[in-house]
Structure 1
Amino acid sequence: MNIGRKLGFFTAFILPAWILLGYTLGGWGNFITMLHVFILMPLIDQSVGINTQNIPKEKVKAVSNEFYYRFVTYIWTWFQLAFLLWGIYVVTFGNINTPLEWIGFTLSFALVTGGIGITVAHELGHKKSPLERFYSKLLLMTVCYMHFYIEHNKGHHVHVATPEDPATAHKNETFYAFWVRSVFMGYTHAWKIENDRLRRKGKKPLSLDNSMIWFAVLPILFCAAITFVLSAYAGYFTWQVPVFFFAQSFFAFSLLELVNYVEHYGIQRKEISEGRYERVTPIHSWNASHLISNFFLFQLQRHSDHHANAIKRYQVLDHYDESPQLPAGYPTMIIIALVPPLWFSMMNKRLEKWHSSHDLQAA
């Protein structure tokens, strides 16, 4: 990759810069980040267009092994932790006072911790390195969604595009119905996966060996520790800490579920025998190769290749023409997904065309 593309992956840091500016301006300024993500970025995304270039096969191994790309994700991990602590501090002692400022600051913050942070956690959670997996869990702790580490890797990637996957949206299912199903069924499924893992090893699910117990407790302990320290410092109970921490977490993982909804809406794998499905290929996820939004999202939008080759690092994910293509990048599509009639009118015809070309009925 040339230096321009390498630097492109640092564009994610533009979002926290907007939050800092918005906080400095105060009032409506706290919504600047949202204007950037949902108005400015889609306009730039559409004007710059799609990049279908792939890394030449003979260079894939070398580019995959370049430390630079891991370094960007490592830096983001520690930056997000520090940035979250700053956010907690300013909502407690800074100039976040009115309901308007609280709403703008919290929603904008979730675009960073959810839109970028969970994307980085997703990338790192697929890797074999213990350090990268630790960073993945650390990032997920900051948004109270640590079970995603288990459910995504051992549940979603196994069952994607089948009725067994709560993170695959059905045709004509609204995002709001999908949110309930994916959040609650995904969480309970993660418990089942972890409990089954322990039983296979001859261990009791109700023990400290159960990762789900730790995943449930750690975000609460993290928030409680910060609340205790700041309350001791202030001399009064700093209620702002848990309110902000859990509110930004809620919006962050809801943003993740919006992305899940967009990525897999209505796609189905063929059932080759009862309970068995064709293997996952690049045709089984919606793809978007829009250049600018892919920089911000570490090429998450090349989701078709990710599901076909989950171990591949973000910098070498391929575009496939045969994959079902979204009409726009994620920043545009997730806004459309919030308006079901608009979403259905835009996506159902594309979905039916995909199903008919693969001898399936869009159920």
Structure 2
Amino acid sequence: YFNLPIVYVLVVVSLITVTTTTLETYEFVGLVLSVGIVLGVNGINVAHELGHRQTTNERFIGKALLLPALYMHFYIEHNFGHHLHAATKEDPATARYNQTVYGFWLTSVFRQYGSAWKIQNRLLKNNNQSFLSIKNDMLWYTILQLTYLIIVFAAFGVTGLIFAFFAGVIGFILLETVNYIEHYGLLRSKMPSGRYERVREIHSWNSNHLIGRIVLYELTRHSDHHYKSSKKYQILDCHDESPQMPYGYPTSMVLAMVPPLWFAVMNKRIPREMVSA
């Protein structure tokens, strides 16, 4: 929970710094990258964990952590979309075999946003609510994020707005890089009924490397997270059947930035039946 004040204090202090101090371009860019990484790790990553919790307060904190990363729709798409469609071609957050991380950033960001609206509209329809209903969370997320940017602009000017916007972009790009490596190339089989098999341990890449486990709040034990999404990160298990990454998540994210190396390391580890699926 302490990540909430950490994130917001860091954003405010950084905004004050970039608007009251003369910075070289490389210093400004470096600060954007640094704050963006915090928004991704301490913001979106922690929001992901809290978004699966059962209490309203925990979910509220999770959504508040998504706000400065401009990614509040993640709550809807991840919980009602990704966990239903993970490791299928219907899932925007599952990277295809031989898809580069750069191509994935584009497809995942835009498809997830569109998917979140589709899910929201379906939820409204199922509850006999109109688009302008107070229950339209996507509408609220849009209003809140625009209000956040307007407040930043009013208080810190164009420089502050540019800083806040691009720090948010770096934050969700970091998230999407994690998404890329989590399910890369892994696909569920379709049964004769046309439905997909249940998500199993073999449909997520796992890693027991210590640094990644600590930094990402055990997100690296991803198979167990999909097995029971409400399970708290402290008690997630490692399954022997799960495909294992040769490196930790942080190293794997860097490796993914060089597609030929990523393909050389990872493609041979993907089961043949999934490649041809």
Q: TM-score, normalised by structure 1?
A: 0.74
Contact 2:97–2:275 (CA<8 Å) still a contact in 1?
A: no
Contact 1:285–1:324 (CA<8 Å) still a contact in 2?
A: yes
Query: Which of 128, 141, 147 is residue 67 of structure 2 equivalent to?
Result: 141
1:280 paired to 2:199: yes
Question: Which residues in structure 2 correspond to 1:175-190 (within 5 Å)?
Answer: 175-190=101-116
Which position in structure 2 is the counterpart of 1:75? 2
Contact 1:110–1:252 (CA<8 Å) still a contact in 2?
A: yes
Secondary structure of residue in 2 paired with 1:276: coil
Q: Which amino acid aligns with 1:109?
A: V
Per mean C-alpha deviation after superposition, the further-off stretch among 74-83 and 221-230 is 221-230
Which position in structure 2 is the counterpart of 1:160? 86
Q: Deviations over 1:75-104 (max 9, x none)?
A: 111221111111111111134x21111111
Q: 1:257 offset after TM fit, Å? A: 0.5
Secondary structure of residue in 1 paired with 2:243: coil
Q: Deviations over 1:206-233 (max 9, x none)?
A: 4342111111121220121233234xxx
Secondary structure of residue in 2 paired with 1:283: helix
Rg larger for: 1
Q: 1:274 offset after TM fit, Å? A: 4.8
Which position in structure 2 is the counterpart of 1:205? 131
Paired positions, count: 277
**Unpaired runs of at least 5, structure 1:** 1-73, 231-237
Q: Deviations over 1:265-314 (max 9, x none)?
A: 01011111354111112221000111122111111111111111111000
Quote the Cα distance in structure 1 between the aligned partners of 2:152 and 2:255: 37
Q: Which amino acid aligns with 1:197?
A: L
Q: Deviations over 1:2-34 (max 9, x none)?
A: xxxxxxxxxxxxxxxxxxxxxxxxxxxxxxxxx
Quote the Cα distance in structure 2 between the aligned partners of 1:131 and 1:94: 37
Which position in structure 2 is the counterpart of 1:341? 260
Q: Which amino acid aligns with 1:192?
A: K
Q: TM-score, normalised by structure 2?
A: 0.96
* Identity between Structure 1 and Structure 2 (%): 47
Q: Deviations over 1:145-198 (max 9, x none)?
A: 000000000000000001110100010111111111111110001000001100
Contact 2:152–2:164 (CA<8 Å) still a contact in 1?
A: no
Contact 1:263–1:303 (CA<8 Å) still a contact in 2?
A: yes
Displaced runs of 4 or more, over 3 A: 359-363
**Unpaired runs of at least 5, structure 2:** none
Query: Which of 299, 315, 332 is residue 218 of structure 2 equivalent to?
Result: 299
Which position in structure 1 is the counterpart of 2:251? 332
Quote the Cα distance in structure 2 between the aligned partners of 1:160 and 1:340: 22
Query: Which of 90, 96, 104 is residue 30 of structure 2 equivalent to?
Result: 104
Secondary structure of residue in 1 paired with 2:201: coil
Quote the Cα distance in structure 2 between the aligned partners of 1:99 and 1:361: 44
